[in-house]
Amino acid sequence: MMRVKNVPGDLLPQKETSYRFIFGVLLAYMAVELAGIFLHPMWRDEMHTWSMASASSSLGDLLQRKAAEGHPDMWYFMVYGIRQLSANFLSMQLFHGALAAITVFLVLKYAPFTRLQRVLLISGYFYLFEYAMISRNYSAGILLITLLLVLYRQRQRLLFWMALILFLLAQTNVFGLIFCIAILATWLFEFAVSEEFRRGMLKQKALLAISLALVLAGIAYSLHAVIPPPSAYFAGAAHFSLFQLTWKGFIQTAAIVWKAWVPVPEPIIQFWDTNLLRYEWLQAILSAGLLFSAALMFVKRPVIFVLFITGSAGIIAFVLMYYFGYIRHHGHLYILLITCLWLATFYQENDVPLWSTILEKYFVWLKSRRDRLFLILLGLQCLAGVFAITVQALVPFSAAKMTAEYIKSQKLDRFLIAGDQDVSLEPVVGYLHKEAYFFARRATSTYAIYDSKRKLPTPSSLLVMADSLVRAHGDTVLLVMNYYFDEPTGLNLKQIKSFKNSIRWDEIYFLYLLCPAEGAPKPDKQRGAGDSGK
């Protein structure tokens, strides 16, 4: 039977005892985070959950509205609770920031890394920017994973609480669900191969059965929530088919490991989801090398090896076969690496030589340079994080808030607002606190609805629809567009403002007034019509 050896307690890395260090670094982190939150206008994915919670009269109503979302319920419930206490968007952003700050405290206090490694870790792209300043459901998952790591040493004594954390983790997002399944599979493996672990678990059979049932219930409930109904828009946009298993798809998917571990973006304003290394085939080769090296580094710690392989395979398979996603999704591969490095300190390496002399030599080389390689990786993550928050301090993440403020200041919100694309219109509507006409659904709403009724019009057909809307409405319509089109003959259409300064490339805006034939009313002249937004 394979031997799994735990590290003796007196050899475990000690938790940080200097509160001057912990709170000094934490306060510096929070100062940067708060400044970033106040400078961060919410984009559509952040606004979407807020708008949906605002439109819901009860939790049951919210569940019905989010059925087509493809996400578990936890973040929606959290936002709904916040919305009952405050109508200010900032309350959600501050709550999200608090989750990130608690995670950072736990890392600074308990992570088995050096002080320099911990500081670089929390200053990295995902901990400082992506999962801290952008209010989505990922920060809650990272906090739960970190809490699991903190309590891991006492997982047998705190079995029920560990199971409850896994239950909640599965409710955060799809990648939290994958983590939950991977950790459960890892513990089942350890139960099978470690007599010490199995004996400790079997001493509390009733509690073990309850805890296992709780985790399985969490997985089942999460799957129920994330699998969209046939009417959902995502059912057509994100699905599995053998035809999508192409060579190009494999290359693109393989490249996500490099993008997650080394997320250094291009030095441009619209940096989000870019990578300084542009060639995907080279990213894929480097990704394969990174995955192989990390797996080899964990191979003599079988429990960690199983966790790394299971988690990586789950994330990569989901990306390849269902939904490719973006860096915010792929970043969970980096969180998995940190998880495995953290947990590796709880297990001793076995002394069984590898089956190949070359592999054994490479393993020894990796082991001797592990801290140096880890520092390089953390340094690159820190570079990406500092770049992201610097650009955001100079350029708005989305031009939606600026656009909405202009509309209010010019009293243009007295007109019916309509627009395309609907996902780009949504944050503007959210900041305006009013309904708009979404051409993609041929109906008014306060948020975009992702179901099969959503049909994106072409620019030419949209103008025909807009003209019909003006005739039916009998008054001027304000068009909020995220692309420019020439003013056509035969329509009383006039561009009055543009907002093109934005990190998010598709949340730039062009405002048009489409008026009835008798003449076009002009906006209040607090700012000159026709100026370009900045």
- 66-103 pLDDT tens trace: 888 889 999 999 999 999 999 999 999 999 999 999 99
CA atoms within 13 A on the CB side of 332: 30
Please check whether residue 179 is in contact with residue 145, taking contact to mean a CB–CB distance below 8 angstroms: yes
- Residue 527's pLDDT is 36
Q: Which helix (H) or strand (E) holds 478?
A: strand 477-481
* Cα–Cα dist 162/190, whole Å: 16
Please check whether residue 478 is in contact with residue 512, taking contact to mean a CB–CB distance below 8 angstroms: yes
- Residue 456's pLDDT is 85
Helix then strand count (H, E) for the chain reads 23, 7
Please check whether residue 278 is in contact with residue 299, taking contact to mean a CB–CB distance below 8 angstroms: no
- Amino acid occupying residue 486: D
* Cα–Cα dist 465/124, whole Å: 47
SS3 66: coil
- Residue 451's pLDDT is 78
- Residue 416's pLDDT is 95
Q: Give the chain's mean pLDDT.
A: 90
Please check whether residue 391 is in contact with residue 269, taking contact to mean a CB–CB distance below 8 angstroms: yes
Q: Which helix (H) or strand (E) holds 115?
A: helix 115-122
pLDDT tens, residue by residue, 253-302: 999 999 999 999 999 999 999 999 999 999 999 999 999 999 999 999 99
Residues of the chain with pLDDT under 70: 1-3, 5, 8-13, 231, 233-244, 487-490, 518-534
* Cα–Cα dist 447/530, whole Å: 28
Q: Which residue has the tokens 């692309």?
A: 483
> What residues contact residue 100 under an 8 Å CB cut-off, 6+ apart?
33, 127, 131, 132, 139, 142, 143
DSSP label at residue 512: E
* Cα–Cα dist 387/75, whole Å: 28
- Residue 433's pLDDT is 93
- Residue 240's pLDDT is 58
The reply to whether the predicted model has a pTM over 0.95 is no
- Residue 322's pLDDT is 85
pLDDT tens, residue by residue, 428-439: 999 999 999 999
**CA 132 vs CA 79, 138, 378: distances in Å:** 16, 9, 17
Contacts 24+ apart (CB under 8 A), 370-374: 370/297, 371/114, 371/117, 374/113, 374/117, 374/341
- Residue 534's pLDDT is 38
- Residue 410's pLDDT is 95
End-to-end CA distance of the chain: 66
> What residues contact residue 10 under an 8 Å CB cut-off, 6+ apart?
none
